[in-house]
Amino acid sequence: MKRLIKTCLVKHKRILSLTKSTICTAVILSLAFTANLSALPIIFLDADTPTTGSDLGTMPLVVAPYGTITFVGEIKTTNFDIDFLNAGATGSSFDILGPNDTPAQTAELFFSFDVISIEFVYGGNFGGIEIEARDGLGNVLDSFSQTSTVDGMPAGPIILSGSGIRSLYWRDPVDGQGYAALDNITLIIPEAATILLLALGSLTLLKRR
Ligand SMILES: [Ca+2]
Ligand SMILES: [Ca+2]
Ligand SMILES: [Ca+2]
């Protein structure tokens, strides 16, 4: 990235017009943003230890310094779907509540902080699965669905993304089904402060030249 900025600065020296200078600044800002995306904070949830969400069925998970994750659903042993296991699910996973529970046949993970990307594997055997990444108002930012999760059907991984994701909601739309689980959930968090610092650093560098 430093080399790219240097190239941009060399070109910038030769260009006198204000318009070109503005374009160059935009390029540097965009480079700073792109470089930072690969280093954004990640939270991994596999329901197999307290720090990766094994207690989420009964209590919220505090993830310092970002905030709290809460779960409406049940933690379930992951051995009901061979495709799910082949996709990497192990131990326990995050499952929907049963048809006689309230809310029925659904699960939802809530985040007290913004998330920009969620990757996961999914299983279920009988029935199907519908998954939505939602913002704080419940608007759907991205979604995935599969009409059947019987043996031989795909089980992920799938990535849902959007700006300001605050919950991951999923359900089995087929009546009477109580098993539709997710595992190895990877959350990517935008770190606004880091992006801003990188951008300001690039601007200072540009100003000095
Ligand atoms: Ca697991
Ligand atoms: Ca399956
Ligand atoms: Ca269940």
Residues measured by CB to lie within 5 Å of ligand 1, the ion: 46-48, 91, 183
pLDDT, position 25: 40
User: What would the mean pLDDT of 164-184 be, rounded to a whole number?
Assistant: 97
End-to-end CA gap in the chain:
17
Cα distances (angstroms) measured from residue 105 to each of 60, 95, 126, 159: 21, 9, 13, 22
Ligand 1 centroid – CA 54 distance (Å)? 9
Ligand 2 centroid – CA 112 distance (Å)? 32
Ligand 3 centroid – CA 110 distance (Å)? 18
pLDDT, position 44: 98
pLDDT, position 84: 97
Residues 6+ apart with CB under 8 A from 7: none
Residues 6+ apart with CB under 8 A from 192: none
Hey, what domains does the chain have and what are their CATH numbers? 2-39+193-208 (no CATH), 42-190 (2.60.120)
Ligand 1 centroid – CA 53 distance (Å)? 9
Asked if residue 129 lies in contact with residue 145, where contact means CB atoms within 8 angstroms, the answer is: yes
Q: Which ligand is nearest to the CA of 127?
A: 2
pTM assigned to the model? 0.76
pLDDT band for position 41 (cuts 50, 70, 90): very high
Ligand 3 centroid – CA 40 distance (Å)? 33
Residue 147 has pLDDT above 50, yes or no: yes
Q: Which of 149, 163, 69, 160 is nearest to 109 (CA)?
A: 69
H helices present in the chain, as ranges? 2-14, 18-37, 82-86, 192-208
Q: Which of 75, 67, 68, 66 is nearest to 48 (CA)?
A: 75
Report the amino acid identity of residue 83: D
pLDDT in tens, 62-97: 999 999 999 999 999 988 899 999 999 999 999 999
Residue 101 has pLDDT above 80, yes or no: yes
Q: What is the largest CA-CA distance in the chain?
A: 72
pLDDT in tens, 45-59: 999 999 999 999 999
> How does the average pLDDT of the chain come out, rounded?
83
Task: Measure the CA–CA gap between 166 and 185, rounded to whole angstroms.
Answer: 14
pLDDT, position 125: 87
